[in-house]
Amino acid sequence: MKIDIGIISHNRYEILSENLNQLLKSSEFFSKIILVDNGSNENFKQKLKRNFSNFDKIDIITSEKNLGVAGARNILFKKSNADLLFCIDDDALVNNLKKSLMRIKKVFLKFKKLGVLCLKIIDSKSKKVIKREFPQKYELLKLNKILKISYFIGAGFVIKNEVFKNFAFNDNFFYAQEDIDYCYKILDN
């Protein structure tokens, strides 16, 4: 089961660089990183090109204008041919990528009808689950188990190829609510 990692960034080079360097340490466990430079400035573009354009595992797609989150995610969907696309924010640091990817694969193999897996978002400083980023009652989050939910938060999710190839984000949503709108689209079909 092939997994691509999808990241969108707009002028946040320092945290993106930290993220990419961390991901590349476990590059044997994913197919490639698809990075959308979402209309960043020239300084960002130059740093990105200088430090990351020579990695075979990173495909950098540059948009001259900021397409918003929905528009940039649609680019990620078009560029990935993997079975799963693991979408994370540019400032998301994944704890133990190898273990996370292996667990993700097991979940999708076990639950054949699963289309999207929402990831728990944990604050890097407090080490606590960010309640507003997870669509469940907080008490249930402490159980550390798989829960059925009706929507996901775009900061961290994994989506099956057959879902992202059939449904696009509504790019009328520049930022915020695009993920909830997307969930309605999936659930309605």
At 95 the pLDDT is 81
At 173 the pLDDT is 64
Read off the amino acid at residue 60: I
Distance CA 147, CA 55 (A): 37
**Residue 96 burial by CB count (10 A; 0-12/13-18/19+): exposed, middle or buried?**
exposed
Q: Which ranges in the chain belong to alpha helices (H)? A: 13-24, 42-52, 68-79, 97-110, 138-141, 161-164, 178-187
Q: Which of 115, 80, 66 has the alpha carbon at shortest distance from 5?
A: 80
Distance CA 24, CA 145 (A): 28
At 179 the pLDDT is 72
DSSP percent split of the chain into helix, strand, coil, nearest 5: 40, 20, 40
Length of the chain: 189
Instruction: Summarize pLDDT for 126-170 with one digit per residue, the tens.
Output: 666 666 555 555 555 555 666 666 666 667 889 899 888 877 766
Tokens of 44: 């960002």
DSSP 132: G
Half-sphere exposure at residue 105, Cβ-oriented, CA atoms within 13 angstroms = 14
Q: Which of the residues in the chain have pLDDT under 70?
A: 122-154, 169-170, 173-177, 180, 182-184, 187
